[in-house]
Amino acid sequence: MERFGPAPAPDATGIPADRAARRPFAVELRRSRQVLVVPADRTILDVVRDAVPGVPYSCEEGYCGSCETRVLAGIPEHHDTVLSEDERRTGRTMMICVGRARSSRLVLDL
């Protein structure tokens, strides 16, 4: 299956609107035993790629499902078009290329 959609429109500063109101949070990679900070201007995937080589991804826009990652603790904020409403509610997985955190810390199965 292929999914297509427009990229988020930039705001007056040139930053995509979906990134403008972001705040930093911590991500614990349980298997790698690392705790990383995801700054407001970077994605979880960006930060994780720096620390863990070989993390799968493709579209980086939340529609292919390649980066789906199990969430062990914390509350994910979903911005993908892959998960169903039920899957979003359970918060067991997330697309780390676009997802953020509603809690101050997420624990991921990476």
Q: Which one-letter amino acid corresponds to residue 97? A: C
Smallest distance from ligand FES to CB 75, Å: 19
Distance CA 71, CA 110 (A): 9
Q: Which two tokens stand for residue 58?
A: 């493709």
Q: How far is the CB of 63 from ligand FES (least distance, A)?
A: 6
Is 106 a binding residue for ligand FES by CB under 6 A? The answer is no
Q: Confirm or reject binding of residue 94 to ligand FES (CB under 6 A).
A: no
Residue partners of 35: CB distance under 8 A and separation at least 6 = 26, 27, 28, 29
57 interacts with ligand FES by CB under 6 A:
yes
**Rounded distance between C-alpha atoms, residue 1 and residue 78, angstroms:** 20
CB of 12 to ligand FES, least distance (A): 27
Interface residues with ligand FES (CB under 6 A)? 57-60, 62-67, 80, 82, 95, 97
